[in-house]
Amino acid sequence: MGLDLGEKTIGVAVSDALLWTAQGVTTIRRSPRELAELGEIIRAYEVGEIVLGYPRNMNGSAGPRALLTEEYAERLRSEFALPVNFWDERLSTVAAERSLLEGDLSRAKRKKLIDKMAAVHILQGYLDRRAHNPDEI
């Protein structure tokens, strides 16, 4: 499962059983119930691993958002007893926006889908790296 962790929402994507492709599932609003919602998705899709977008600065350094992401990863590990890996998410939202623009979607529709699509880009990048360079994951 791939997650794009934002301040207000969490984009969620899952892979197929063969770990080849990522598909967007939903966008969850940040709330006290978010872990329960993620747990439902984890059970429904039989998730065995979580890939969390890691927000590095453009120069590669880890800023305040990266530290919050690391704390969230610990919450996920504790709650679900699953491995949580990080994936550099720089420009994932830009790539998602570009994909949605190519689909000629209205601004309102893009806003609803952007976080889910960013999660797809995060997870697909991880899956591609895993397929081509398994020793690096």
Q: What is the pLDDT of residues 85-120, one digit of tens each?
A: 999 886 556 565 666 556 665 666 556 666 888 899
- Specify if 137 maps to a domain: no
Would you say the pTM of this structure is higher than 0.85? no
**CATH number, domain at 106?**
3.30.420.140
Which range marks the domain in which residue 74 is found?
2-132
Q: Please tell me the total count of domains within the chain.
A: 1
* Span 117-131, pLDDT tens digits: 889 989 999 999 888
DSSP 91: T
Q: Integer distance in angstroms from the first to the last C-alpha of the chain?
A: 15
